[in-house]
Structure formats: C-alpha cells, structure tokens
C-alpha cells in the first residue's frame, strides 16, 4: 500500500521534454532511499500545461512541480518524499502564494476549465485498466448492458445535446439513431472511431488516447450496443506511436477482463475492437476516405449520400465518431442527459477541448464549457500573449477553419457562433496570432498544406487549391493586381461549391475569412507592395539609419550574405541586391539603427 | 470474464488508491514528523503502519503524509491529525501498535485516544 503517489506526465509533450528519463531516475532514487513500498510512481497522460513540461504532481499534498530535470530528482526524493518538505523552487509559480501553496484548481490555467473528456488525463495510469475502473470506468457500460435498452441509450445521447467533436457538430444521437433504424437485412454493422487527427496544431485526440484509452473502448462498446454492431475499428495515425501502443495495451486488458469479446457481463451482447493504422494523410480524417482506407484501399473520399449510417464501411451501416465525442459518452450515461445539457450554450452543450498554440504563454490543452469567450481562453487560461504584443486574430479549425479577429474577441465560443463569424469549431486547434503575423502569409501556409494533402480525386480541389496557392504566392511577392484578388475570391466560392469532400469544400476558408477581416492587408500587398506585419520577405527592405549607426561593424560581421559594407566608426550601408532579408543584422544591432519596412 | 460484481470489487479496491489524487479539502490529514529526530526515534514504522491501516480499512477520506521537525524532538515520533473544521490533535511517542489504536478509535470511531496525546501544558 502506498502513502504517496508521484504522477509524472507521459504524454507526447512531456515525453519529448524528457519525462521518460525523469521516471527512471525517480524510481532509482526511490529504491535507493528504501521508499519502494511506500511511494508509487505513476506515468499518466497529459495534464494540459505542455509548455511547462516535464510535469510532476506529488499526492496527497498535490504539489505541482514543473520543468523538472533529472538533476532535481535526488532533492525531490530526499526532501519531499522522505522528509515531507515541499521543494518550493520547483513548484509551478502560479501555485505559490505568500502563505504557502495554492490549489492547482485555483490557478488561472485550471480555474475556468471543466474536465469531462480529459477527466482522467494526468490522473490515472493509462496502461492499468484497474485505475480506470477505480475512477468509475466501465460502470457506464455495465449500466447500459444490464439496465437500458438500445433505444434508451440513444435517447439519453440525443437528450444530452452532444454534437460531434470532430468539427462539423452533427448531433451524435441522430447519427446513432439512423444506424440503429437500418434493420433491413439484420446483417453486420460497424462502429468506427476517427483518431486520424490531422489539423496542424491540434492534439486533443492524441491526449485522450494517451491519457485515457479505455474511455474510448468503453464508449465504442456502448455505441455498438446502441446500434446493434459487434465490431469496432479505431483508425489512428501511425504518427502517434504512444497512443497506438497504449490502445494496444488497453484492448488487450479489456479482452482479458471480458469487457471486450463475447457475452460481455454475461449478457447476449458481444463486441470487439481492432486498430487500423493510417499513414497520416489528412484526407483520411474525412469519414468516407477513412472508411475506404480501413477497407484496404487508397484513402479517397466517396460522394454522400449514401451516408455512412446507411452504407458505410464494407457497404454496411456504420457510425463514425471522433475520439473526443466518445470520451464524453460514459459520463453522459452515468450522470444523465440533463447534467450534460446543463453545461454550454443553447445549441452547443457540454465542453470542448482546445489545443492552444502560437503566440500564447500557456501552450497546452484546455477543456472549457461551450460559451466561454475567446478573451477568457486567451487572456485568462492561456496567460495572454508573450512580450506584451497585441492580439490580432485566432485561427480555429485548422486548414478548414478561419481567423477570428479582435473585434470578435468576446463572442462566446460554440458551433453556431463560430460559423457565423466565418470560422468553425473544427477539431479544436486554436492558434493565436499577434501583430507580427501576416494574414496573407497565414492563408498561404494553410493553402500550402491543403495542396500537399489534396488526394487528387476531384478537379476543383486538385487543381483549384494549387491555383489559389499560386495567386497567394504572387500577392506575397508583390506581383499581384487587384484583379487577382477578385479572381481569388471567385475561385474560393467555386471550390467550396464543387469539391467532392469536406477537405476541398473547406479549403478556401482560411483565405475567405482573412479576406473578410483583413482585406486591407491584402490590398497593402497588392497596391502598396508592402507587408504591414513585416513578414513577406520579398516586400521587405532593411535599411541602416546613418545617424544612429556607430560603425561598430557587428552587423557586417554577422551578415551571412556579406551585403553590409562600411568602414569602422563610419555609418554602414546594406546592399539591397545582395540582402537576403534574414534579419540577422537587425537582431544584432545594439543601437536600434536598423529598421525594416 | 468479469461480472458486474467483480467490476465493482475492483473499483472499491482501486478507489482508495486513485482517490488520493484529488485536491479535496474535506480530507482528514494524518501527518507524521519525519525529520532526523523523528526517523531516529522510529517514525518510519509508524508511518508505514498508518498508511497500511488506512488503505486496509478503506478510509477514502484520510490521507497519510509526512512533515519535517515540529520542534518537540523529545516527544518524537509525533503524529498530528487534522480533521476539517476541528482542532489539531497531536499524538506523541508513537509506535506501530499505538498507531493501530489511533486508526481504530480516532479515525474510524471519532474518539480521540487521550492516553497518547501531548499534555495540554506542552501543546
């Protein structure tokens, strides 16, 4: 029996900042001090504060250590674990107050969060099914199989108002109902999980799979019971090796306990789940392409209708939900539809997980009730923008979404509000941009991604996105005309209406939303041949102010292109024909004599 | 194959473990002095006995933890019990046997073990 639990984050973020070595050093040090039978080291999933990793929490005191290094381990063990003295210098500074330690849930980062999908992430050992069961795991499945009919299950999901967390926001209960109602031949149905998280900057599905894999298995089994399926598939990208490994372990444990397999809990219901690994193509996150890929074919979308609920995987009725959607299901079953529906806004219930990235202090993973404003997320939870810079826009929905400008900073975040202001919920990537980001450049970045990821099946997407990218490239190089802007806009609408699948239909969104809110920036590039944010290299020029230059030669010595000339103690000059606009000179100058325009 | 009952049994067993990982201010805290003075006079077996007993009896709302020197080294091993909304109780010169009495009488039945507490004039 252990008197203390030391939780170390084993998510991808903390693993890459060295948590694996921390765990080994910690265990060795604990053994050395003879505490092996008293202190348990638990490798958990993501706590959300990835920017401060590796993260360690010591219970029962709930001391939250951040940026722990291997060198700190002997001190933590001898001071805290042996003598009971908290190592204050390693505490997350937000939890330190004048009169001691503040509870983690009172810190700005966690205060406004409400964890449902992430409730076990960072709390349990994801490789131990018993710990999941210890936090009410598989209780919902037990309740469903022994006390509820499939129709009752679907009714609860419908009443809860849960909508698809993959981005489109289709009511989950309706999807299940459609698949359940298809009973023409009594044949096989399938339950699929979309874990092919492809948006740049989004990592919430990965975190759920890494931190709480059993919740997905439990929810899929519930879904299987609800629609009458006996087989499930999780489609996960091979680029998530930790998630894949933990899913494998979880499936093995669930089978061993009889929570997957034949006659679960002694009932007539049987269900099993297999993994299918994707190679990381963005289009395979689109539901029809995903199913085509599971079938063993090249991942290309197919036209809808027929919808998957009628004719999906192997041409059988199929439901496909996102990881985060599933992560909500067991809690909804246990606490009831009203509990879930009491959170959020009128049409968007519950919570949403966002991956905060870009120009923000607390990079990481947050789960907030629907209806929280962007300002609360960025200023309070996210800790604001570094270096006192000004908020310019937030990008949601990845390559399918758009930018939300400062004028909509106080709009409550939900599915419908985001659509109304030209963006979308998407899977939950939230990239913050400040005054140093060029919106044309951002649009170009996403288009480049889409061009790369277009599967090539339909012409509007294959050719159209490429032409869009070329136009954007012209704009950023100052070679475009105002006519090109109109043509670009026209092409956007054409692709939106004619592309075969969601990837193509939403590909123009980053361009359309930046054109809507930041048209002046586009015009500045086209008419004035100027990049207001100072990003687009072709439009920049660096100059040295002769009055401020002391002739220290530092810039000349650091210029990689030898473009700067001048004698010692004389003002220097940049040769514009040689300058590669790297900005190294400006960074080095101690007299602020170099400016860019 | 697990039945529902077996599942509930695993849950009850694990809750004592996983339940520690929360910041709950309704918890009773049992604190053992584990500075050099405490360890020298035998605090370690007391700590082990306490945490074993608390888990064994499934006392979900009790956490056992350690602290440094309280300053009354001649009375070590010292165990303090903090119950929410109650005054702190200080037990002195503890042994694993006495720890068992404290768990059974104080933590379970709510009766302070008067024989083991520090004399009022010193506390």
- Find the closest chain A residue to B39 by CA distance: A83
Best mean pLDDT range from A213-217, A400-404, B14-18? A213-217
Q: Give yes or no for residue B15 having a pLDDT over 50.
A: yes
Q: Do domains A4-104 and A351-434 have the same CATH topology?
A: no
The answer, yes or no, to whether the previous bond of B77 is cis (omega within 30 of 0) is yes
Measured between alpha carbons, how far is residue A188 from residues A295, A311, B21 in Å? 15, 11, 42
The pLDDT, as a whole number, for residue B122 is 55
Phi, psi of A406 (to 5 degrees): -60, -30
Q: Minimal Cα–Cα distance from A17 to chain B, Å?
A: 24
Q: Give yes or no for residue B23 having a pLDDT over 80.
A: no
State in words which class domain A4-104 has: alpha beta
Sequence ranges of the domains in chain A: 4-104, 129-340, 351-434, 439-526, 542-596
Q: Report yes or no: B30 at the A interface, CB cutoff 8 Å.
A: no
pLDDT above 70 coverage of chain B, percent: 93
Query: Tens digits of per-residue pLDDT, A253-309?
Result: 999 999 999 999 999 999 999 999 999 899 999 999 999 999 999 999 999 899 999
- Collect all residues with Cβ–Cβ distance below 8 Å to A329 and sequence separation of at least 6: A140, A157, A162, A218, A219, A222, A223
Distance CA A102, CA A96 (A): 6
Query: Tens digits of per-residue pLDDT, B93-121?
Result: 999 999 999 999 999 998 899 899 888 66
Domain A351-434 carries which CATH code? Answer: 3.10.20.600
Region for A569 from its dihedrals, namely left if φ exceeds 0, alpha if ψ lies in -120 to 50, beta otherwise: left
Q: Minimal Cα–Cα distance from A318 to chain B, Å?
A: 28
Contact state of A139 with B56 under an 8 Å Cβ cutoff: no
Q: Which fold has domain B24-116?
A: Glutaredoxin (3.40.30)
Q: Minimal Cα–Cα distance from A405 to chain B, Å?
A: 38
Q: Report yes or no: B9 at the A interface, CB cutoff 8 Å.
A: no
The answer, yes or no, to whether the previous bond of A54 is cis (omega within 30 of 0) is yes
Contact state of A85 with B67 under an 8 Å Cβ cutoff: yes
Is A439-526 CATH 1.20.1440.230?
yes
The interface predicted TM-score (ipTM) is 0.81
Sequence ranges of the domains in chain B: 24-116
Please state, as a whole number, how many other Cβ atoms lie within 10 Å of the Cβ of residue A111: 12
- Find the closest chain A residue to B52 by CA distance: A1
Q: Minimal Cα–Cα distance from B106 to chain A, Å?
A: 19
Q: Give me the residue label for tokens 């919808």.
A: A307
- Collect all residues with Cβ–Cβ distance below 8 Å to A163 and sequence separation of at least 6: A169, A170, A171, A172, A348, A349, A415
Q: Report yes or no: B105 at the A interface, CB cutoff 8 Å.
A: no
Query: Tens digits of per-residue pLDDT, A401-451?
Result: 999 999 999 999 999 999 999 888 888 899 999 999 999 999 999 999 999
| Residue A84 · residue B67 · CB < 8 Å | yes
Structure tokens at B81: 């019990």
| Residue A46 · residue A9 · CB < 8 Å | yes
Smallest Cα–Cα separation from A56: which of A82, A79, A34, A23?
Answer: A23
The pLDDT, as a whole number, for residue B75 is 87
- Collect all residues with Cβ–Cβ distance below 8 Å to A420 and sequence separation of at least 6: none
Contact state of B21 with A83 under an 8 Å Cβ cutoff: no
Smallest Cα–Cα separation from A11: which of A63, A52, A39?
Answer: A52
Contact state of B1 with A263 under an 8 Å Cβ cutoff: yes
State the pTM of this model. Answer: 0.88
Structure tokens at B7: 């599942």
Q: Residue A8's beta-bridge partner residues?
A: A43, A56
Please state, as a whole number, how many other Cβ atoms lie within 10 Å of the Cβ of residue A568: 10
State in words which class domain A542-596 has: alpha beta
State in words which class domain A129-340 has: alpha beta
| Residue A400 · residue A502 · CB < 8 Å | yes
Chain B partners within 8 Å of A80 (Cβ): none
């Amino acid at each position: 029996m252990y008197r203390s639990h030391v939780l170390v984050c084993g998510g991808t973020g903390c693993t890459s900042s060295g948590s694996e070595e921390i765990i080994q050093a910690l265990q060795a040090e604990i053994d050395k001090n003879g505490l092996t039978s008293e202190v348990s080291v638990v490798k958990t999933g993501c706590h959300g504060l990835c920017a401060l990793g590796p993260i360690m929490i010591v219970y029962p005191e709930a001391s939250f250590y951040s940026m722990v290094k291997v060198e700190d381990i002997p001190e933590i063990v001898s001071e805290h674990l042996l003598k009971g003295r908290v190592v204050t210098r390693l505490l997350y500074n937000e939890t330190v107050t004048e009169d001691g330690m503040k509870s983690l849930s009172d810190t700005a980062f966690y205060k406004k969060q409400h964890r449902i999908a992430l409730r076990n992430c960072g709390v349990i050992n994801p490789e131990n099914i018993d710990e999941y069961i210890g936090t009410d795991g598989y209780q919902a499945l037990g309740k469903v199989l022994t006390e509820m009919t499939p129709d009752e299950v679907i009714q609860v999901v419908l009443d809860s108002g849960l909508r698809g967390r993959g981005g489109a926001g289709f009511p989950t209960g309706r999807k299940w109902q459609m698949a359940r109602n298809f009973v023409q031949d009594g044949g096989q149905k399938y339950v699929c999980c979309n874990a092919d998280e492809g948006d740049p900057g989004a990592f919430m599905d990965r975190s759920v799979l890494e931190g709480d894999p059993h919740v997905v298995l439990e929810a899929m089994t519930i879904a299987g019971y609800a629609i009458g399926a006996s087989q499930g598939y999780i489609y996960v990208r091979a680029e998530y090796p930790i998630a894949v490994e933990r899913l494998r372990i979880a499936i093995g444990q669930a089978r061993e306990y009889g929570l997957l397999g034949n006659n679960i809990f002694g009932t007539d219901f049987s269900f099993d789940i297999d993994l299918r690994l994707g190679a990381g193509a963005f289009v395979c996150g689109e539901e029809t392409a995903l199913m085509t890929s599971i079938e063993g074919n090249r991942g290309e979308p197919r036209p809808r209708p027929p919808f998957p609920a009628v004719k999906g995987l192997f041409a059988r009725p199929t439901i496909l939900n996102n990881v985060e959607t599933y992560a909500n299901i067991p809690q909804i079953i246990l606490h009831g539809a009203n509990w879930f529906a009491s959170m959020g806004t009128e049409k968007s219930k519950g919570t949403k997980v966002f991956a905060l990235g870009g120009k923000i202090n607390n990079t990481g993973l947050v789960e907030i009730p629907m209806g929280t404003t962007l300002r609360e997320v960025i200023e309070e939870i996210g800790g604001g923008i570094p270096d006192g810079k000004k908020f310019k826009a937030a990008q949601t929905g990845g390559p399918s979404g758009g930018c939300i400008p400062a004028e909509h900073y106080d709009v409550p975040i939900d599915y419908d509000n985001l659509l109304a202001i030209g963006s979308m919920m998407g899977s939950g990537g939230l990239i913050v941009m400040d005054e140093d980001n060029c919106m044309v450049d951002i649009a170009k970045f996403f288009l480049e991604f889409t061009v790369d990821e277009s599967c090539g099946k339909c012409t509007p997407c294959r050719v159209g996105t490429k032409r869009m990218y070329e136009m954007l490239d012209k704009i950023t190089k100052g070679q475009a005309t105002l006519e090109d802007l109109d043509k670009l806009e026209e092409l956007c609408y054409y692709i939106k209406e004619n592309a075969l699948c969601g990837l193509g239909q939403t590909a123009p969104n980053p361009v359309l939303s930046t054109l809507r809110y930041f048209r002046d920036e586009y015009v500045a590039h086209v008419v004035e041949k100027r990049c207001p944010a100072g990003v687009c290299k072709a439009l920049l020029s660096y100059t040295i102010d002769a009055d401020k230059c002391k002739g220290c030669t530092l810039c000349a010595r650091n210029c990689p292109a030898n473009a700067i000339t001048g004698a010692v103690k004389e003002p220097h000059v940049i040769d514009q024909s040689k300058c590669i606009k790297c900005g190294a000179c400006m960074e080095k100058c101690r007299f602020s004599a170099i400016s860019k325009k | 194959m697990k039945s529902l009952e077996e599942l509930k049994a695993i849950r009850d067993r694990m809750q004592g473990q996983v339940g520690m990982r929360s910041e709950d201010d309704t918890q009773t805290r049992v604190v053992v002095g584990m500075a050099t003075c405490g360890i020298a006079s035998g605090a370690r077996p007391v700590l082990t006995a306490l945490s074993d007993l608390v888990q064994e009896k499934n006392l979900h709302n009790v956490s056992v933890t350690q602290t440094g020197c309280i300053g009354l080294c001649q009375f070590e091993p010292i165990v303090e019990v903090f119950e929410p909304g109650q005054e702190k109780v200080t037990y002195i010169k503890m042994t694993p046997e006495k720890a068992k009495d404290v768990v059974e009488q104080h933590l379970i039945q709510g009766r302070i073990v008067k024989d083991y507490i520090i004399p009022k004039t010193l506390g």
